Amino acid sequence: MPHLDIRRLGTTRDQLGESPCWDDEAQALCWIDALAGTVHRLRLATGTLESHALPAPLGAIAPAQGDAVVVALRHGFGRYDFGTRRLTMLGDIGLSDLDVRLNDGKCDAAGNFVAGTMHMNRPADVPVRGGLYRLSPAGRVEQLADDIGFANGPCFSPDGRTLYLADSLARVIWAYDYDPRGPLSNKRSFVETHGFESGPDGATVDAEGFVWSVLVRAARLARFSPSGELERLVPLPLTYPTSLCFGGPGLRQLYVTSISRSARLEGRLPQDGGLFVLDGLPVAGLPTQRFGG
């Protein structure tokens, strides 16, 4: 893979930048500051930045039908309309535990939104609460897994039949056989990241079926083959990257979010908390799937 050009995009400084996603219809990049409860939308052609205040903390967003995003809130899901600035609740996960909240999420090809939780302050002998949930376009919420302590980086293979899901504290990316209308099956270890001295964070899949995972504590991106072999490590000029997505012309740019100060980590560099873009990729991303509701 050739040399990549990495630069900061704009001047935003998020506490916990997360969940970047490309909206092809709006030709805009959306992402969140999870702790501040802010949804950003940047239109690349004009450089126009919008920032929208929602109830904090936020877990993730994804483009929805219309001028909107689907949102993972603390214990439930909503649809936020950019034009009206209105948040409409869609369903909840049936929990009120303040140590458990929704975290990362993505849409599948059928228009469902799949998002997992993180169980904070959990002693080793306490069972995991929460797990992985799926919101259908009709508003049905179902639990797909109950054994993920710190869910991150859900993403799908190009054919949609494999779901990748990281458990950051366990430092493993799992793979599952995936059916958008059925349960998960055939759970297996895809990659373990102990050797990188970091848990895996946000992730995405490129058009060749390779998985890009953020190694948050190592300040690197890792690209893994569909069989789980490391193909490339990309160092980043920041302390704690968090998540990434493909976007821009031809889906040939990578956008990366980062931390300035979260509950666990504090950046040491002035650019920490910024949004970054990588150019020079020889591979494109996959089209962003939209929530169907």
User: Is 284 contained in some domain?
Assistant: no
Tell me, yes or no, whether 287 lies in a domain.
Answer: no
* Tally of domains in the chain: 1
Task: For residue 286, tell me if it sits in a domain.
Answer: no
| More confident position, 125 or 157 | 157
274: buried, middle or exposed (CB in 10 Å: 19+, 13-18, 0-12)?
Answer: buried
Q: Which residues contact 173 (CB under 8 A, 6 or more apart)?
A: 153, 164, 165, 166, 189, 190, 191, 192, 193, 200, 203, 211, 213, 224
As a whole number, the mean pLDDT across the chain is 96
203 occurs within a structural domain: yes
Q: Is residue 144 part of a domain?
A: yes
In the predicted model, is pLDDT for residue 2 greater than 80? no
Domain that holds residue 156: 5-279
The pLDDT > 90 percentage for the chain reads: 93
| Cα–Cα distance for residue pair 71/81, rounded to 1 Å | 10
Burial of residue 169 (CB within 10 Å: 0-12, 13-18, 19+) is middle
Q: Is 201 a catalytic residue?
A: yes
- Is the pLDDT at 100 greater than 60? The verdict is yes
| Residue 293 in domain | no
Q: Is residue 73 part of a domain?
A: yes
pLDDT interval class at 143 (50, 70, 90): very high
Asked if residue 166 belongs to a domain, the reply is yes
What was the pLDDT predicted at 123? 86
Which pLDDT does position 109 carry in this prediction? 97
User: Of the listed 33, 201, 206, 272, which one is catalytic?
Assistant: 201
Q: What residues does 200 pair with on adjacent strands?
A: 215
Residues 34 and 23: their CA atoms lie apart, in Å, by 19
Task: Please check the confidence at residue 201 and state whether its pLDDT lies above 60.
Answer: yes
> Is the per-residue pLDDT at 124 higher than 90?
no
Percent of the chain with pLDDT over 70: 99
- Give per-residue pLDDT as tens, 75-91: 999 999 999 999 999 99
Q: Tell me, what's the pLDDT at 263?
A: 82
Tell whether the model's pLDDT for residue 1 goes beyond 80.
Answer: no
Tell the burial category of 1 from Cβ atoms under 10 Å away from its Cβ (0-12, 13-18, 19+): exposed
Q: What is the pLDDT of residue 264?
A: 85
Average pLDDT of span 180-203: 97
- What is the CATH classification number for the domain harbouring 225? 2.120.10.30
**Tens digits of residue pLDDT in 159-190:** 999 999 999 999 999 999 999 999 999 999 99
pLDDT computed for residue 3 by the predictor: 79
